Amino acid sequence: MNEVTEDTPSLRSENYALDAQMLERILDALEDESHEGLAELLEPLHAADIADLLEQISPGNRRALLALWPAGIDGDVLSELDEGLREEVIEYLPPEVLAEAVRELDSDDVVDLVEDLEPEQQGAILGALDEADRVAVEQALTYPEYTAGRLMQRELVMAPEHWSVGEVIDHMRATEDLPEQFYHVMLVDPRMHVVGKVALGRIMASPREMPLRQIAEEDFRTIPVTQSQEDVAYAFNQYHLISAPVVNEAGRLVGVITIDDAMAVLSEEAEEDILRLAGVGEESLSDRVLEIARGRFGWLLVNLVTAIIASLVIAQFEATIAQIVALAVLMPIVASMGGNAGTQSLTVAVRALATRDISASNLWRVVRREAVVGLINGVGFAVIMGVVAMLWFGEPMLGLVIGLAMVCTMVAAGVGGIVVPLLLERARVDPALASGPFVTTITDVVGFFAFLGLAAVILL
């Protein structure tokens, strides 16, 4: 994209939200079918801003923009687009524009672009690449999805381990197809095994005769090509990596992963966990209504089943509720407090599992901590609700019942919120996706059984 200067119009306001005035001017240019006006507004903008614009305007305006300004949609914009919208945009682009767009991208960006497309669209993009680039992308697509092989880029700089600083500088200056961005030179032996890496800063600060091995980084790690991208992102975050070589089963260098790709994985995983905790799949603002409804239906169905289970517990105390109507008034409070406490504990557990902070050595300490937290909060809210219930209904024993039920519910919520994700993780089920209904069932069943059971024993 063009360099941004002080006079460059911005699509975003100071808080990085899309600027309403700028959007209005763009929509006016679309309505007037002004190619020059649209190009003047959009050409200086960052690819991420244009991608966000395409995602937020209506499908009709999106088609109009792509028809009026197709050449402006380059490879960087396609990479920034949401996956669901990317297919639609590619369909509208002329073949020559699409071909030029993908030629600008590194191999890892092309892989990310084509891996979720239909075969016909994949073929159109692969056919636009040079033979060497096409072979590299096709090879990357043979690796399992969500692995380092899909995440890595083939474009890298490597040098024999016996070279000096001067030799590698001369090599880079003479090479016409250096990667657009790179941070290390990878040192290899004659069998293409990686033996070290040298930061560009160290190269530029060292005399020409300095052997590269003497300025190689001491903390050196390689990434197996079949390693999961979650493990790759964890390694980058844990060990503060900037780039890391990727090796195949024979230990030979096949690519490199850079920090921007690793951080993108971390961001995607965090977003995925948040959405799954809420029972929402990988949806975006550009998805169709039926797709969104279908994606949410399954989760809502599971929650309906858990609600029925809780209702079955309530049904066992129908006679008790009939005699003491106040119980029906107070039951939602017990369920709500238990559910909220369970969600808090569950969120902490899922996050700790994602960052690998929970291990066999601290497992029971974490469980005990959540139980004690639940107990302390339970006692606190038991006192509050006991007083409220006594003043509300004029029945001290009713305050005692809801207070005891509150303690039981909060402890169950704390323990359930931490234990359920751990058990699901042990069973190789995604805790973020499946924990919610189980924790909700535990808190509702324990809460209703404790409240109504204690009421039947103490009040009747």
pLDDT tens per residue, range 229-271: 999 999 998 899 999 999 999 999 999 999 988 998 888 877 7
Rounded to a whole number of angstroms, the CA Rg of the chain reads: 29
Residue 285 has pLDDT above 70, yes or no: no
Beta partners for 159? Answer: 187
Give the residue ranges of DSSP H helices in 14-118: 20-31, 35-42, 47-56, 59-68, 75-80, 83-92, 95-103, 107-114
Mean pLDDT to the nearest integer, 177-182? 86
Q: Is 16 left (phi over 0), alpha (psi -120 to 50) or beta?
A: left
* Lookup result for tokens 């858990």: 306
DSSP 2: P
Beta partners for 234? Answer: none
| Per-residue model confidence (pLDDT) at position 3 | 45
Residue 224's nearest CA partner among 184, 265, 252 is: 252
Beta-strand pair 243-247/158-160: unpaired
Q: In the structure encoding, which two tokens stand for residue 259, read together?
A: 């920090």
Q: In the structure encoding, which two tokens stand for residue 366, read together?
A: 């974490």
Q: For residues 340 and 444, what is the distance between their CA atoms, to the nearest angstrom? A: 11
- Identify whether the C-beta of residue 420 lies closer than 8 Å to the C-beta of residue 351: no
Contacts of 377 (CB under 8 A, 6+ apart): 341, 410, 414
Confidence of residue 14 (pLDDT cuts 50, 70, 90): low
How many other C-beta atoms can be found within 10 angstroms of the C-beta atom of residue 351?
17
Residue 447's nearest CA partner among 388, 405, 398 is: 405
Confidence of residue 191 (pLDDT cuts 50, 70, 90): very high
| Per-residue model confidence (pLDDT) at position 2 | 45
Question: How many Å from the N-terminal Cα to the C-terminal Cα in the chain?
Answer: 76
C-alpha distances in angstroms, 242 versus 203, 239, 448?
A: 16, 9, 52
Phi, psi of 17 (to 5 degrees): -80, 155
| Per-residue model confidence (pLDDT) at position 109 | 83
Q: For residues 250 and 417, what is the distance between their CA atoms, to the nearest angstrom? A: 43
Domains of the chain, earliest start first: 20-148 (1.25.60.10), 158-277 (3.10.580.10), 289-458 (1.10.357.20)
Mean pLDDT to the nearest integer, 428-453? 85
Q: pLDDT digit string (tens) for 287-333?
A: 677 777 777 787 778 778 888 888 888 888 888 888 888 888 898 89
> How many residues can be counted in the chain?
460
Q: In the structure encoding, which two tokens stand for residue 68, read together?
A: 């009026």
Residue 81's nearest CA partner among 95, 62, 68, 99 is: 62
C-alpha distances in angstroms, 62 versus 33, 118, 381?
A: 13, 21, 53
How many other C-beta atoms can be found within 10 angstroms of the C-beta atom of residue 2?
9
Mean pLDDT to the nearest integer, 100-104? 79
Least confident of 164-168, 176-180, 288-292: 288-292
CB neighbour class for 457 (10 Å; exposed up to 12, middle 13-18, buried from 19): exposed
Beta-strand pair 158-160/184-188: parallel
Q: In the structure encoding, which two tokens stand for residue 260, read together?
A: 């921007």
Contacts of 443 (CB under 8 A, 6+ apart): 335, 338, 339, 341, 342, 409, 412, 413, 416
Q: For residues 350 and 406, what is the distance between their CA atoms, to the nearest angstrom? A: 24
C-alpha distances in angstroms, 444 versus 2, 102, 125, 273, 424?
A: 57, 53, 52, 23, 20
Helices 289-315, 431-458: crossing angle, 10 deg rounding: 30
- Identify whether the C-beta of residue 62 lies closer than 8 Å to the C-beta of residue 87: no
Residue type, 362: N
CA angle 175-177-182, nearest 5°?
95
Q: In the structure encoding, which two tokens stand for residue 295, read together?
A: 């994606």
Least confident of 34-43, 78-87, 184-193: 78-87
- Please give the residue that has the higher pLDDT: either 106 or 225: 225
Residue 7 has pLDDT above 50, yes or no: no
Q: For residues 103 and 78, what is the distance between their CA atoms, to the nearest angstrom? A: 12
Residues of the chain with pLDDT > 90: what percent? 30
Least confident of 39-53, 103-117, 220-234, 256-270: 103-117
- Identify whether the C-beta of residue 232 lies closer than 8 Å to the C-beta of residue 148: yes
Residue 156 has pLDDT above 60, yes or no: yes
- Identify whether the C-beta of residue 192 lies closer than 8 Å to the C-beta of residue 253: yes
Q: pLDDT digit string (tens) for 339-361?
A: 889 888 888 888 888 777 887 77
| Per-residue model confidence (pLDDT) at position 141 | 87
Residues of the chain with pLDDT > 70: what percent? 93
Q: For residues 440 and 417, what is the distance between their CA atoms, to the nearest angstrom? A: 9
